[in-house]
Amino acid sequence: MKRSAAEIIREYGPFEGVEAVHGVTYDGSHVWFASGDKLNAVDPDSGKVARSIDVAAHAGTAFDGRHLFQIAEDRIQKIDAASGKVLSTIPAPGGGGDSGLAWAEGSLWVGEYRERRIHQVDPESGKVLRTIESKRFVTGVTWVDGELWHGTWENEESDIRRIDPATGKVLEQLDLPAGTGVSGLESDGGDRFFCGGGTNGNVRAVRRPRRG
């Protein structure tokens, strides 16, 4: 396993009226984050909130190209990104113990925080297709270039780690500075991760290690 210190490229926020960040996703131009009763779209260049949707947003956030998915209480809401309307909901696999959310390969991937596992879920029915065990409390989840990454937050320590989707084995680990939380994680498809700072209400950009 490769282990290194996470390189924080940039910090966004604090944002007005935002106490904590619960989920993070990226739609190709804006970073979306969940702040309890709102989804907020941040321009990653200016760092300003461009737009907000009033919707219950208590944990993970994901984007499938057209829709935003957002965990609220014990369900996953499918939201039209253009209108902000909730189109449908499915039950969340952790029954409310859910934290991170990602969209990849036609499935939703849901982190179940204290159970230390990640579920692959059918986005139409909510059916659990398979479950990957992790070693630590799971917060945000993301897929990039066929790599499964997730954030951890346990014992006031956080890291971002790549795990083997088949075995759950940790392949690579980026440690965040002590006292820094990771809530919500999303790759921009390039060399950046966006992650929520949890109760400090910030969003951070962290460099993704280069391959090769």
Partner 1 sequence: MESLITAAARALEAGDPLGALNRVALRNDAPSLALRGIAMAQLGDLAKAKSLLRNAARAFGPREAVARARCVVAQAEIALVSRDLSWPDRTLAAARTTLEKHGDLANAAHARHIAARRLLLLGHIEEAESMLAGPGRFPLPPASQVVRELVLAGIAIRRLRSEDARAALARAARAARQAGIPALAAEVEGASRVLDTPTARLITRGEERPLLLAEVEQLATSEVLVVDTFHHSVRRRGTVVPLGTRPVLFALVRILAQAWPADVSRQTLIAGAFHARHLDESHRARLRVEIGRLRTKLKPLADVNATKQGFALAPRRTRDILVLARPVDEKHANVLALLSDGEPWSSSALALALGTSPRTVQRALDELARSNKVQCFGHGRARRWMTPPVPGFPTGLLLPTPLLKT
Q: Which residue ranges make up the site for partner 1 (CB under 8 A)?
A: 20, 22, 36-37, 56, 58-60, 71-74, 92, 94-99, 113-114, 137, 139, 153-156, 179, 183, 198-199
Count of residues in the chain:
212
Q: 138 or 164, CB closer to partner 1?
A: 138
Closest to partner 1 by CB, 71 or 102: 71
Residue 120 Cβ vs partner 1, minimum distance, rounded to whole Å = 18
Which residue number, 63 or 137, has a Cβ lying nearer to partner 1?
137
Q: How far is the CB of 211 from partner 1 (least distance, A)?
A: 30
For residue 192, what are the CA distances in angstroms to 10, 34, 145, 188, 212? Answer: 10, 19, 13, 6, 17
Q: How far apart are CA 162 and CA 117, in angstroms?
A: 14
Using CA of residue 23, residue 11, residue 26, residue 188, what is the dihedral sign?
A: negative
What's the closest the beta carbon of residue 145 comes to partner 1, in angstroms?
A: 27
Q: Smallest gap, in angstroms, from Cβ of residue 36 to partner 1?
A: 6
- Side-chain-side CA neighbours of 165 within 13 Å: the count stands at 15
